[in-house]
Amino acid sequence: MNRVLIIGAGGVGRVATFKCVQNSDVFGEITLASRTKSKCDAIARRLPREIRTEVVDADKTPELVALIQDVRPNLVLNLALPYQDLTIMDACLETGVHYLDTANYEHPDEAKFCYAPQWAYHDRFKKAGLTALLGSGFDPGVTNVYVARAKKHHFDRMETVDIIDCNAGDHGYPFATNFNPEINIREVSAKGRFFEEGNWRETEPLSVKKQFDFPDSIGEKDIYLLYHEEMESLTKHFPEVWRMRFWMTFGQSYLTHLKALENVGMTRIDPVVYEGKEIIPLQFLKSLLPDPASLGARTIGKTCIGCWIRGEKSGKKRTYYIYNICDHQKCYKETGAQAVSYTTGVPAAVGAAMILKGIWRGAGVFNMEQFDPDPFLELVAQWGLPFVEIFPDADEI
Ligand code: NDP
């Protein structure tokens, strides 16, 4: 019987725990551990079967090692924050356990992320005969697998990839973030970056904007160019793609508030002395903002995340658009979380199932697009996130 240890009791941890509990043929014993045990217990109370809950500080490898040795899981799902990726990977290596996460490593003192620190673990995981699966959320995650599916079934050669993430949900607050505010604001206020003809090109934060007409009655929305981590691995694994970009929708109220917060220094991540005590303004702001886990009940509308790909098949040019639509209230009814947590937690549980069932298995550190996309997308659809694929007439987004 498979045992799993889930670390992190936020919105994503909640959804992944629900999905593991719902699929007891794959996930036998489940332990949910986080910094605040009461948050694990609150999730556990909503579940139809019993799970174990524990407290752990995932910044401390010895604490993690002791917990893993006690729980003896086959796999650790890291659904805490990107800051903990390396300590949890170290603990998995020390205890001989497979590893999975949904976001690449970031150092708390620098708003910059890249795969290099985690790819550097490849040889150690390989030598230990263990799998580390990186970025098993939606973006990164399902979007990587969409690109792999496009290449496997629909293109001889892909030329351009645009990943488009739309949250058309409304939570009724003038300003709130749909996942961890600190991680979200660091990502959005960073410079934009896209890949073109072998080079990364930089843009000022949120300075490149287009309009995109989303399906399923979502309609036309402004989309903004951002840097996003899946482009790093996708450009490496599909070098034929000459241009890759990532776009995200933002409402005007969100952007106006963000600008004001930036202008007054509230998004800074360097320490500031306040009444004789050092504080990090962004962490203080996080403590004032609504907890993303509390948004579920009040968020209505849908998300639409997908990939718009242009390339060639059998000598002919074609455009392909693959996407998922997810309804916030449907997710809330099922798990008590909104669609942003749901679209991340479901692929995390499915990625874990792929490893535990031995369908995706390799020794080393892997990104999602390195495995066969078909069984993953089949299970993701069964567990709540089906895809739609169309061949639009238009070339460009
Ligand atoms: P939350 O902030 O809601 O939850 C994070 C959880 O991790 C909290 O329960 C927190 O505990 C816990 N945690 C933080 N630090 C530690 C620590 N040192 N030791 C133990 N537990 C800790 O975030 P989300 O659930 O929204 O996001 C989880 C992850 O998913 C993040 O890494 C995020 O970047 C990623 N993500 C990925 C997406 C994708 O599509 N790939 C999309 C959205 C998110 P406490 O409550 O005590 O603070």
Kindly indicate the confidence band of residue 319, based on its pLDDT and cuts at 50, 70 and 90.
Answer: very high
In a domain, 366, yes or no: no
Q: Measured from the CB, is residue 350 less than 6 Å from ligand 1? A: no
In a domain, 127, yes or no: yes
Q: Is the CB of 291 under 6 A from ligand 1?
A: no
**Domain co-membership, 112 together with 233:** no
For residue 31, list its beta bridge partners.
Answer: 5, 52
Mean pLDDT, residues 67-83 taken together: 97
In percent, how much of the chain has pLDDT > 70? 100
Instruction: Verify whether ligand 1 is closer than 6 Å to residue 56 (CB atom).
Output: yes
Tell me if 291 is assigned to some domain: yes
Decide: 102 in ligand 1 pocket, CB within 6 A.
yes
270 domain-assigned: yes
Q: How far is the CA of 179 from the centre of ligand 1 (A)?
A: 8
Residue 379 domain-assigned?
no
Mean pLDDT of 56-62: 98
Residue type, 155: F
Check if 345 has its Cβ closer than 6 Å to any atom of ligand 1.
no
Q: What angle do CA 106, 370, 191 make, to 5 degrees?
A: 35
Q: What is the mean pLDDT of residues 341-356?
A: 98
In the listed set 134, 157, 176, which residue is the last one of a domain according to the structure?
Answer: 134
- Higher per-residue confidence, 40 vs 111: 40
Q: Are residues 215 and 190 in the same domain?
A: yes
Question: Do both 176 and 296 map to the same domain?
Answer: yes
Q: Is the pLDDT of residue 137 over 90?
A: yes
CA nearest ligand 1 atom 4, residue: 10
Question: What is the extent of the structural domain holding 307?
Answer: 142-337+386-390
pLDDT in tens, 149-190: 999 999 999 999 999 999 999 999 999 998 888 888 988 989
Domain containing residue 185: CATH number: 3.30.360.10
Mutation to probe ligand 1, out of 5, 6, 12, 233 (largest number of atoms < 8 A from CB): 12
Has residue 333 been placed in a domain?
yes
Cα separation, 256 vs 261, in Å, equals: 9
Report whether 334 contacts 128 (CB < 8 A): no
User: Amino acid identity, residue 45?
Assistant: R
Q: What is the pLDDT of residue 187?
A: 87
Q: Which atom of ligand 1 is nearest to the CA of 84?
A: 18
CATH of the domain at 126: 3.40.50.720
137 lines ligand 1 (CB under 6 A): yes
Residue 40 pLDDT = 98
- Ligand 1 in reach of 128 Cβ (< 6 A): no
Closest Cα partner for 3 from 335, 351, 361, 356?
A: 356
Ligand 1 pocket, residue 296 CB under 6 Å = no
Give the relative orientation of helices 85-95 and 61-71 as an angle to the nearest 10 degrees: 50
Q: Is the CB of 36 under 6 A from ligand 1?
A: yes
Domain end point (choices 134, 157, 184): 134
In this structure, the answer to whether residues 45 and 165 fall within a common structural domain is no
Indicate if 156 and 276 belong to the same structural domain: yes
pLDDT at 359 over 90: yes
Whether the model pTM is above 0.75: yes
Mean predicted confidence (pLDDT) in 47-63: 98
Q: Alpha-carbon distance 277 to 269, whole Å?
A: 15
Residues 314-348, buried b or exposed e (16+ Cβ, 10 A)? eeeeebbbbbbbbbbbebbeebbbbbbbbbbbbbb
- Residue 82 beta carbon below 6 angstroms from any ligand 1 atom: yes
Mean of all residue pLDDT scores within the chain: 96
Based on the fold, state whether residues 151 and 13 are members of the same structural domain.
Answer: no
Instruction: Note whether 127 and 184 are same-domain residues.
Output: no
Cβ of 186 below 6 Å from ligand 1: no
Q: In this structure, are 73 and 203 located in the same domain?
A: no
Q: For residues 184 and 114, state if they share a domain.
A: no
Number of domains in the chain: 2
For residue 13, report the distance from its CA to the centre of ligand 1, in Å. Answer: 7
pLDDT of residue 293: 80
Pick from 35, 326, 346 the residue to mutate for probing ligand 1's pocket: most ligand atoms within 8 Å of its CB.
35
Residue 342 belongs to a domain: no
CA of 168 to the centre of ligand 1 (A): 22
Checking if the pLDDT of 45 tops 90, the result is: yes
Amino acid letter, 77:
L
pLDDT score at 110: 83
> At residue 380, does pLDDT exceed 90?
yes
pLDDT for 154 equals: 98
Of 134, 160, 178, the domain-final residue: 134
Residue nearest to atom 48 of ligand 1 (CA): 35
**Residue 356 and residue 20: Cα distance in Å, rounded?**
12
- Asked whether residue 108 falls in the same domain as residue 169, the answer is no
Residue 348 lies inside a defined structural domain of this protein? no
54 lines ligand 1 (CB under 6 A): no
Closest to 309 measured CA to CA, from 369, 365, 251, 390: 390
CA of 207 to the centre of ligand 1 (A): 28
Q: Are residues 112 and 164 in the same domain?
A: no
**Ligand 1 close to Cβ of residue 292 (< 6 A):** yes
- Within this chain, do residues 172 and 278 fall inside the same structural domain, yes or no? yes
Give 61-121 as a DSSP string. Answer: HHHHHHHHHHH--SEEEE-S-GGGHHHHHHHHHHHT-EEEESS--B-TTS--B-SHHHHTT
Reply yes or no on whether the pLDDT at 294 is more than 90: no
